Each structure stands twice: as structure tokens, then as C-alpha cells.
Amino acid sequence: MAARTLQGTVTSQKMNKTITVVVARRTKHPKYGKYISLSTKYHVHDEKEISKEGDIVLIQECKPISKTKNWMLVDVVKKGESE
């Protein structure tokens, strides 16, 4: 069984070796048929601390690293706008 991979945007990198990634998705409401934008925040393990806020990253599910971390950074797809 392959591990799940998701793509999202880094919203915070204030913790040591941890980033917060928001993964947005659009789903259809089961009764009314309207498309709804939903998002989920994940704590992601970033061993080398290579990502910054605003980057679009690829994350992969892994075994639990801490109480809230069970995702790890695979790749930085696109660098964010630097100030």
C-alpha cells in the first residue's frame, strides 16, 4: 500500500523542523450540489528546514513523529513570493 501524498501551501514555519501546511480541496455538497471549498491544516516534518511561508510543497504520510505530526516533506514544488 502506497503512502498518501498531498500538495499544499506552507502557512507557518515558526517551529523547529516543523511546518504547517494548508491543503485545500473542493467537494460537491451531497444534497444541494453546490461546490464547497474545504481546507485542512497538517503539521509536517521538515528535517532540513528548506521550506518557507508561501511555498507550495508536496507532503507524504508517514508513521507518527509526535502527537500531531504524521506527515513529512517530500519536495518544494514552487517557491513562494519572497519579500
Walk me through the domains of the chain, giving residue ranges and CATH numbers.
Answer: 5-78 (2.40.50.140)
Tell whether the model's pLDDT for residue 11 goes beyond 60. Answer: yes
Question: Is beta strand 18-28 parallel, antiparallel or unpaired with respect to 35-45?
Answer: antiparallel
**Dist CA 11 CA 19 (whole Å):** 8
Most confident of 1-5, 27-31, 77-81: 27-31
Q: Which is higher by pLDDT, 34 or 83? A: 34
pLDDT tens digits, 12-56: 999 999 999 999 999 999 999 999 999 999 999 999 999 999 999
